Structure 1
Amino acid sequence: MSNIREPLYGTAAAAIRDQLRENTDLEVAIRVAQKMLAAYGDSSTFGEHGYAHAHGALSESLRILLRALDAEQGGGQ
């Protein structure tokens, strides 16, 4: 008896292909963190409102990253 399996075709093959192409939580979190750092990494031109906005965005991107790494602690600071 042979261990060779028949290749997948049609919708079954497409479903597996799509699953393999899906981004992991970590990949998404890394992209979010990179975008937030690019947008808010240089605070030299921020006013008071800019600092508050940047802090919120960077905090949220860190939460997303920690959640993807399964390292998020329960809501406290």
Structure 2
Amino acid sequence: MVHAGVKLVIGLLILFAGIYWYAADFLRLPGFSVLGTEAWMALKTVFIGVFGLFLIFVGAIVAWIEYEDLKWERREKSEKKRK
């Protein structure tokens, strides 16, 4: 198993690589500046396409959690009445 600190460092490296992918052209850094505005347009297209799905999944998860919470409260109330 990999130590949590190693996973943190790997995650941060991936995060910075992703930021560099889009920011290199605007910051005039060497690397992926060939992509330029095409990378930003691709990011915008993906964001627009995924945002609705994100809302659906987050809404479903929140509703499910609250449903389980209400069910748990109802169960606790019925157990208190029995005692």
TM-score range, shorter chain: 0.3 to 0.5
The answer to which structure has the higher helix fraction is 2
TM-score (norm. length: structure 1): 0.34
Q: Which has the larger radius of gyration?
A: 2
TM-score (norm. length: structure 2): 0.32
